[in-house]
Amino acid sequence: MKPDQKELSSKSVSLNGSSFPKISVVIPMYNEEDNISRLFDRLFPVLEDLEESWEVICINDGSTDRTLDILLSEYKKRRGLVIVNLARNFGQHAAVMAGFSLAQGQWIITMDVDLQNPPEEVPKIISQFRKGHDLVNTIRKGRRDTLFRKLASSITNRIIARISGIQLRDFGCMLRGYSREVVKGILKNPEYRTFIPALATFFAKNPVEIQVQHEDRAAGHSKYSLLKLLSLQLDLMTGFSMWPLRILFLVGSLMALAGLLAALVIIVLRLYYGPDWAAQGVFTLFAALFFLVGCQFFALGLIGEYIGRIFQAVRKRPSFIVDGVIRGVPNEVP
């Protein structure tokens, strides 16, 4: 371990000043050596103009380039910087969760380091908090990504909004604001993999959705391969909906019913037209087969339903959130 890195392990959670900041900016970073200073040069002036106290929590998500070294040198120059170093690459959402667990602000803002989320949009989010919203979701205006990404997003956004019941127009933008309460709710979920914007919406009482600008990546390339993107979408789908399992059950039930009807029709026709019509028993065999295959699908769907329920229980997500309690004076025992 280099001397600088030794310093990091003792100071990693130290906060600038003694009191808690009002705003925490959480930024996950994976191999982003060329973007960090560029982002800071734009982000810090914006924060300084806010007239609120703040901290910037940077999570190094197991980078193999100079990301950590650059963060350590920035740490010496900038006030309010917190560096979190993860043991290996855990993925963007896990890195954000690590940032959440250390954030001390009342208003917590997540953003990417690649400048696709312009730091100049941060005051817009703050003004929504000031209006009393506890979650500020965002829609990317003029999104600067490949046509494939944009098309894939617009399809998955719609599918996921429908099957999860979470009404968000843009699940993918990570320039978002969360109140401390919402973050506390998110942190209570000991899930192995999750999708933060959807989970945040589950905990929010007064969310709002605003438009923010989107820019080209300043340097480097996207850290999402096609496979990683797919896995993220699966996290979102399986984490927030049992519909895929339900569809299995539905198809199973329909197949069983169709199998039963086909079997009945064949048996009736066999009795009416005699064994020659039924090709000496072959059709009857088919009838039995239809029925059995249908039953199998039905059973598979039923098992799926149970697995879904076990999955929900294992996730330990709270099944309700108490907003507050008003308690009257108890009745006196006569």
Of 35 and 128, CB closest to Mg ion = 35
- Cα–Cα distance for residue pair 311/332, rounded to 1 Å: 45
CB contact set of 254 (below 8 Å; sequence gap of 6+): none
- The distance between the two most distant Cα atoms of the chain, rounded to a whole number of Å, is 93
One residue of 60, 85, 92, 116 binding Mg ion per CB under 5 A: 116
The residue range among 89-97, 120-128, 244-252, 274-282 that interacts with ligand UDP, by the rule CB under 6 A, is 89-97
Shortest Å, Cβ 146 to Mg ion: 11
* # residues near Mg ion by CB under 5 A: 3
- Cα–Cα distance for residue pair 169/110, rounded to 1 Å: 18
Q: How many CA atoms lie within 13 A of 166 on its CB side?
A: 26
Q: What is each CA distance from 120 to 50, 55, 197, in whole angstroms?
A: 11, 16, 21
Shortest Å, Cβ 61 to ligand UDP: 4
User: What kind and span of H or E run contains 213?
Assistant: strand 207-213
Q: Does 91 bind ligand UDP (CB under 6 A)?
A: yes
Shortest Å, Cβ 224 to ligand UDP: 5
Q: Does 170 bind ligand UDP (CB under 6 A)?
A: no
One residue of 32, 55, 114, 121 binding Mg ion per CB under 5 A: 114
| Contact partner at residue 235 from ligand UDP, Mg ion, none, CB < 5 to 8 Å by partner kind | none
One residue of 43, 54, 55, 61 binding ligand UDP per CB under 6 A: 61
Of 22 and 38, CB closest to ligand UDP = 38
Shortest Å, Cβ 31 to Mg ion: 12
Nearest CA to 85 out of 76, 70, 263, 191 is that of: 70
Cα 173-177-183 angle, rounded to 5 deg: 110
Q: Identify residue 274 by its one-letter amino acid code.
A: G
Q: Does 28 bind ligand UDP (CB under 6 A)?
A: yes
The residue range among 109-117, 178-186, 193-201, 247-255 that interacts with ligand UDP, by the rule CB under 6 A, is 109-117
What are 134's two structure tokens?
């506890």
Q: Identify residue 147 by its one-letter amino acid code.
A: L
Complete DSSP assignment for 148-169? HHHHHHHHHHHHHHHHH----S
Of 6 and 141, CB closest to ligand UDP = 141
Contact residues toward ligand UDP (CB under 6 A) are: 28-30, 32, 61, 89, 91-92, 95, 112-114, 116, 222-224
